[in-house]
Amino acid sequence: MSVAIALFTSDLRVHDQPVLRAALRAADEVVPLFVRDSGVTAAGYDVPNRRAFLADCLASLDASLRRRGGRLVVRSGEVVEQVRRVVREAGAREVHLAAGVSGYAARREDRLRTALEGTCALVVHDSVITVVPPGRLVPSGKDHFAVFTPYFRRWRETDRRAVMAAPRTVRVPPSVGGEPLPVRDTVEGVSPGVPEGGEEAGRARLSSWLTRGIETYEDRQDGLADDATSRLSPYLHFGCLSPVELTERALRADGPGADAFVRQVAWRDFHHQVLAARPESAFSDYRARHDRWRGDLAARSETIAWREGRTGYPVVDAPMRQLRYEGWMHNRARLLTASFLTKTLYVDWREGARHFLDLLVDGDLADNQLNWQWVAGTGTDTRPNRVLNPLTQAKRFDPRGDYVRRWVPELAGIEGAAVHQPWKLDARVRARLDYPDPIVDLTEAGERFARARDRRGGGT
């Protein structure tokens, strides 16, 4: 019997799964393989929140395969070596893999191709992790789009591949064994509010979102207290949901909410195509502004306060505490907390991006790093000197203070918008609060940033 390997990476699902379907077409038997990559651990990305969510994802994928007569084979170690071993054990003729966008993914693909040459074919599939593959849409004379709006116009008009049904049967060679599945409960240091992972949980959340949430998304997406976003990003990051299927189903919902939601999916594709073309932008400025980020003792102390949600600005502290508790943060909150670190405190964006990756369940290298650069003014934003004032953001997106009271219990007894400026309360009230005064004056911080901007030539 002929054998193929479906190497799962960020595509942990059976519905609309081009890698698995292609492997099934190519051979009589298929080894659904996932390698717990030692390279990811060495790079520091195997953090507790994502490790726990991943355990759920693998358990869900294994259960789906078993319902179809198959099973998931899990190995640990260096990816290329583990794949070579399974190729030898199974006598596989082909290895199928989803195309990635990071520099690491590109190097992994190259090493796999070299290692398998002459013994086994490597087949790489597009439109698995994104809707539109990076590199398909390019402006004249360039290798990627650096501005979202023209990219989105082309993205919206581009034909998408058809959504694939889940396979009915998966036959796995009985001779190929693997390790026990990881178990979420054994992972230490997990944030209490990390949601259940896996395809089944993701599809249930998607169905609920399409019937009860997407209709009002355009009007409510920025409201911090509303909690009216889909929260599907962790399931997209691990590939429990197909972005192609998600887009098709969202567009069937029709209306302004669906259009606004699909636009966010396009932003995800946009960042992936930027990273694919400029892999160094995961760690280096996409557009160097020659910033002289603060790194003195005061800046380090302020950064610690920012991480702990103790800056004295409640609308900044609330999402930082939510991040620590849930491993998730509202998109608007991500922007305003990132702006506070990079523009108000004038601390290197990499400090914040690393902290987010340490906690976010949806810690995607493309989205996280390039959104941080967008806010810091070193990325694709056409207005690099944009500053999000925390008090203005609070007034617009948490006008009654409900979001702050939810996540900053020290201030729960303060009614209305006054919760956003506790330093203005009566001295006797302030004395009873276990909450710090602001670590920085916004006017002074603005002047500091203006001086820094002038030193770097106005951000041009």
Enter the pTM of the model: 0.96
- What's the start-to-end Cα distance of the chain, in Å? 62
pLDDT > 90 in the chain, percent? 93
Does position 459 have pLDDT exceeding 80, yes or no? no
Does position 457 have pLDDT exceeding 70, yes or no? no
Distance CA 457, CA 460 (A): 6
Q: 48-78 pLDDT, tens per residue?
A: 999 999 999 999 999 999 999 999 999 999 9
Q: 83 exposed, middle or buried (CB, 10 Å; 0-12, 13-18, 19+)?
A: buried
Say how many C-beta atoms besides its own lie within 10 A of residue 55's C-beta. Answer: 20
Rounded to the nearest angstrom, the gap between the alpha carbon of residue 160 and the centroid of all alpha carbons in its chain is 22
Average pLDDT of the segment spanning 125-148: 96
Say how many C-beta atoms besides its own lie within 10 A of residue 325's C-beta. Answer: 15
Is-contact 351 341, C-beta < 8 A?
yes
Is-contact 106 77, C-beta < 8 A?
no
- By C-alpha distance, which of 10, 92, 94, 83 is closest to 53? 10
Rounded to the nearest angstrom, the gap between the alpha carbon of residue 246 and the centroid of all alpha carbons in its chain is 16
Is-contact 277 236, C-beta < 8 A?
no
Q: 319-360 pLDDT, tens per residue?
A: 999 999 999 999 999 999 999 999 999 999 999 999 999 999
Average pLDDT of the segment spanning 159-167: 97
Is-contact 406 224, C-beta < 8 A?
no
Q: 364-382 pLDDT, tens per residue?
A: 999 999 999 999 999 999 8
Distance CA 452, CA 343 (A): 10
Look at residue 456 in the predicted model and tell me its pLDDT: 67
SS3 382: coil
Question: What sign does the CA torsion over 42, 110, 92, 166 have?
Answer: positive
Concatenated DSSP letters of 287-310: S--------SHHHHHHHHHHHHT-
Does position 460 have pLDDT exceeding 60, yes or no? no
Tokens of 200: 């089944």
Does position 247 have pLDDT exceeding 70, yes or no? yes
Look at residue 450 in the predicted model and tell me its pLDDT: 86
